[in-house]
Amino acid sequence: MTLGLFTFVLNALMVLLAAAIVPGFNVSGFWWALLFSLILSLFVYFLGEMTEPPERTVRYIRYGGEVRKEKDVN
Q: Is-above-0.85 flag for pTM?
A: no
Q: In this predicted structure, what is the pLDDT of residue 33?
A: 95
Q: Name the strand (E) or helix (H) holding 48.
A: helix 30-51
Residues 6 or more apart whose CB falls under 8 angstroms from that of 8 comprise 34, 37, 38, 41
Q: Where does residue 43 fall: left (phi above 0), alpha (psi -120 to 50 degrees), or beta otherwise?
A: alpha
Determine contact, residues 47/36, Cβ cutoff 8 Å: no
Q: Of 50 and 72, which is predicted with more confidence?
A: 50
Q: Strands 66-72 and 57-63: what pairing?
A: antiparallel
